[in-house]
Structure 1
Protein backbone atom coordinates (compact mmCIF):
# COMPACT_ATOMS: atom_id res chain seq x y z
CA UNK A 1 0.00 0.00 0.00
CA UNK A 2 1.26 3.44 -0.89
CA UNK A 3 1.32 6.42 1.41
CA UNK A 4 -1.78 8.60 1.14
CA UNK A 5 -1.60 11.91 -0.67
CA UNK A 6 -2.23 15.14 1.24
CA UNK A 7 -5.59 15.38 -0.54
CA UNK A 8 -6.59 11.90 0.65
CA UNK A 9 -5.62 12.78 4.21
CA UNK A 10 -7.63 16.00 4.15
CA UNK A 11 -10.61 14.23 2.59
CA UNK A 12 -10.59 11.46 5.20
CA UNK A 13 -10.37 13.99 8.02
CA UNK A 14 -13.23 16.06 6.64
CA UNK A 15 -15.40 12.96 6.10
CA UNK A 16 -14.90 12.15 9.77
CA UNK A 17 -15.90 15.74 10.73
CA UNK A 18 -12.74 16.20 12.77
CA UNK A 19 -10.43 19.13 13.20
CA UNK A 20 -6.72 18.57 12.69
CA UNK A 21 -6.26 18.43 16.47
CA UNK A 22 -9.00 15.84 16.86
CA UNK A 23 -7.71 13.76 13.94
CA UNK A 24 -4.21 13.73 15.39
CA UNK A 25 -5.57 12.57 18.75
CA UNK A 26 -7.36 9.63 17.10
CA UNK A 27 -4.03 8.10 16.06
CA UNK A 28 -1.98 9.46 18.98
CA UNK A 29 0.25 11.77 16.96
CA UNK A 30 1.09 15.43 17.34
CA UNK A 31 -0.85 18.23 15.70
CA UNK A 32 2.37 19.32 13.98
CA UNK A 33 2.83 15.92 12.36
CA UNK A 34 -0.76 15.92 11.11
CA UNK A 35 -0.37 19.41 9.68
CA UNK A 36 2.83 18.42 7.87
CA UNK A 37 1.07 15.41 6.34
CA UNK A 38 -1.77 17.60 5.06
CA UNK A 39 0.69 20.15 3.67
CA UNK A 40 2.74 17.45 1.96
CA UNK A 41 5.86 18.31 3.98
CA UNK A 42 5.99 14.78 5.39
CA UNK A 43 4.72 11.45 4.14
CA UNK A 44 2.14 9.68 6.30
CA UNK A 45 2.88 5.99 6.80
CA UNK A 46 0.07 3.90 5.31
CA UNK A 47 -0.49 2.21 8.68
CA UNK A 48 -1.42 5.54 10.29
CA UNK A 49 -3.87 6.28 7.50
CA UNK A 50 -5.43 2.82 7.76
CA UNK A 51 -5.74 3.20 11.54
CA UNK A 52 -7.43 6.57 11.16
CA UNK A 53 -9.92 5.17 8.67
CA UNK A 54 -10.65 2.13 10.83
CA UNK A 55 -11.24 4.25 13.91
CA UNK A 56 -13.42 6.84 12.16
CA UNK A 57 -14.81 6.42 8.67
CA UNK A 58 -14.97 2.63 8.35
CA UNK A 59 -16.83 2.27 11.65
CA UNK A 60 -19.01 5.32 11.16
CA UNK A 61 -17.65 6.91 14.31
CA UNK A 62 -17.16 10.64 14.53
Structure 2
Protein backbone atom coordinates (compact mmCIF):
# COMPACT_ATOMS: atom_id res chain seq x y z
CA UNK A 1 0.00 0.00 0.00
CA UNK A 2 1.33 3.45 -0.87
CA UNK A 3 0.14 5.08 2.34
CA UNK A 4 1.21 2.39 4.78
CA UNK A 5 -0.27 -0.38 6.86
CA UNK A 6 -0.15 -2.13 10.19
CA UNK A 7 2.32 -5.00 10.42
CA UNK A 8 2.88 -7.66 13.07
CA UNK A 9 5.13 -6.57 15.91
CA UNK A 10 7.70 -8.73 17.68
CA UNK A 11 5.19 -9.06 20.52
CA UNK A 12 2.49 -11.62 19.61
CA UNK A 13 -0.90 -9.99 19.08
CA UNK A 14 0.49 -6.47 18.68
CA UNK A 15 0.80 -4.44 15.51
CA UNK A 16 2.76 -1.34 14.55
CA UNK A 17 2.29 1.21 11.78
CA UNK A 18 4.72 1.02 8.86
CA UNK A 19 4.79 4.02 6.53
CA UNK A 20 4.39 3.38 2.83
CA UNK A 21 6.29 5.30 0.15
CA UNK A 22 3.81 8.21 0.01
CA UNK A 23 3.68 8.73 3.78
CA UNK A 24 7.46 8.45 4.06
CA UNK A 25 7.92 11.03 1.27
CA UNK A 26 5.51 13.47 2.94
CA UNK A 27 7.28 13.10 6.31
CA UNK A 28 10.72 13.59 4.77
CA UNK A 29 9.77 16.30 2.26
CA UNK A 30 10.67 14.12 -0.71
CA UNK A 31 9.19 13.96 -4.20
CA UNK A 32 6.73 11.29 -5.35
CA UNK A 33 6.11 10.33 -8.96
CA UNK A 34 2.79 8.72 -9.87
CA UNK A 35 2.38 6.97 -13.19
CA UNK A 36 -1.12 6.77 -14.68
CA UNK A 37 -2.62 8.81 -11.83
CA UNK A 38 -5.57 9.50 -14.12
CA UNK A 39 -6.51 5.83 -13.70
CA UNK A 40 -6.75 6.09 -9.89
CA UNK A 41 -10.13 5.74 -8.18
CA UNK A 42 -11.91 8.98 -7.21
CA UNK A 43 -11.24 8.53 -3.47
CA UNK A 44 -7.49 8.28 -4.13
CA UNK A 45 -7.56 11.37 -6.33
CA UNK A 46 -9.48 13.23 -3.64
CA UNK A 47 -6.86 12.33 -1.02
CA UNK A 48 -4.04 13.41 -3.35
CA UNK A 49 -5.83 16.68 -4.09
CA UNK A 50 -6.14 17.38 -0.37
CA UNK A 51 -2.43 16.61 0.06
CA UNK A 52 -1.47 18.96 -2.76
CA UNK A 53 -3.78 21.74 -1.53
CA UNK A 54 -2.93 21.61 2.18
CA UNK A 55 0.33 19.69 2.46
CA UNK A 56 -1.39 17.26 4.82
CA UNK A 57 -1.98 13.56 4.34
CA UNK A 58 -5.11 12.24 6.03
CA UNK A 59 -4.75 8.62 7.09
The structure richer in helix per residue is 1
Check whether TM > 0.5.
no
TM-score, length of structure 1 as denominator length: 0.31
TM-score, length of structure 2 as denominator length: 0.31
The structure richer in strand per residue is 2
Greater gyration radius: 2
